Amino acid sequence: MVLKVRKLPFSRLAVMTSGGDAPGMNTALRAVVRAGLSYGLEVYGIERGYSGLLKGELRLLKSHDAGNIMQRGGTVLGTARSEKFKTEEGQAEALAHLQGAGITHMVIIGGNGSLAGGLELQNKGIEVVGVPASIDNDMYGTSMAIGVDTCLNTIVEVIDKIKDTASSHQRAFVVEVMGRHSGYLALMSAMASGAEVAVIPEVKITLGEMALKMKAAFDRGKSHFIVLVAEGAALKSQQVYQYLCEVGHFETRLTIMGHLQRGGSPSAYDRILATQLGNEALECLIEGVSGVMVGKKGEVFTRTPLEQVVKRTSAVNKKVYELIARLS
């Protein structure tokens, strides 16, 4: 459906997904494409993030290109992390490709690094709106980024399964989850799965303290002891595993969850969030607002300047850490 709106000050829009993929990126892409088409815009998809942009990999998208993708994990546009785009030379090339295609407005779906790139383009004259998509959930300006809910559900499903085997053997498991700089995934999935300890970058815990918790759990007759370790924590999962093996009490195993956390069909929550934020991004550009990231806090949609988004991160709630300890 094409809406009758006042004449827009632009006619072409580009959209890309960038950085680590996150479930729901396709849903956001669908929303941007279809909302753009509903305003009569020509919508171009940039393939493989900034790497594709540097090679001029743009293609005109039609409504059917956004069909049957909202439920698919990953990103149908492809994604990448580009070192070249970080250079002045790379940015000049990218800008030339956009200008050559007559593109003045752009939606970037991705994490912090991707939106830092967006800020560079904004400063060079392209009107950019960012849509937060990153499983780590450390982006400033939104309570939840797209992909986080699906990822948490995946982790919790895996921990439930690990608990089955752990309890059967009365074992401890050290499970490493993603989170390059943030303990959000480890902390929240520990709360949602009833894990005994979360090792996260934001809270210091020593190996000795963990061993004491393990002994206390063993003495209370617990059938398992689950330690979730964020990959970005100072204590690494391998170290924790080796130490707990040496300490004894429970026989211990190590599981590194890895990239399976990033895949899979987006949850209903992520699909709804991605649809709303994709549409919000379009609304911003139509209203003449750019240089912002759209987000959602509670039921309220927010627009945060990209300058703030790229400089800041959102902190984990340390009360959750205490709650996990109290309830385990």
Name which of 36 and 49 has its Cβ closer to ligand F6P.
49
Contacts of 139 (CB under 8 A, 6+ apart): 111, 112, 115, 132, 145, 293, 295, 309, 313, 314
**Which among 21, 136, 138, 149 is annotated as catalytic?**
136
CB of 262 to ligand F6P, least distance (A): 6
Name which of 56 and 74 has its Cβ closer to ligand F6P.
74
CB of 108 to ligand F6P, least distance (A): 15
Partnered with residue 293 across adjacent β-strands are 130, 304
Number of neighbours of residue 17 by Cβ within 10 angstroms: 29
CB of 293 to ligand F6P, least distance (A): 16
Name which of 135 and 175 has its Cβ closer to ligand F6P.
135
Report the alpha-carbon distance of residue 32 to residue 75 in Å, rounded.
Answer: 14
Closest CA to 107 of 45, 178, 164, 174: 45
Name which of 18 and 104 has its Cβ closer to ligand F6P.
18
Interface residues toward ligand F6P, by CB under 6 A: 20, 111, 134-136, 178-180, 231, 262
Closest CA to 142 of 272, 296, 28, 284: 296
CB of 113 to ligand F6P, least distance (A): 8
Closest CA to 127 of 299, 28, 241, 11: 11
**Chain centroid to CA 326:** 29
CB of 150 to ligand F6P, least distance (A): 13
Name which of 184 and 225 has its Cβ closer to ligand F6P.
184
To the query of whether residue 136 is one of the catalytic residues in this protein, the response is: yes
Contacts of 14 (CB under 8 A, 6+ apart): 43, 44, 45, 46, 58, 98, 101, 103, 105, 106, 107
Name which of 134 and 290 has its Cβ closer to ligand F6P.
134
CB of 162 to ligand F6P, least distance (A): 20
Q: Which amino acid is at 315?
A: A
Active centre residues (catalytic): 136
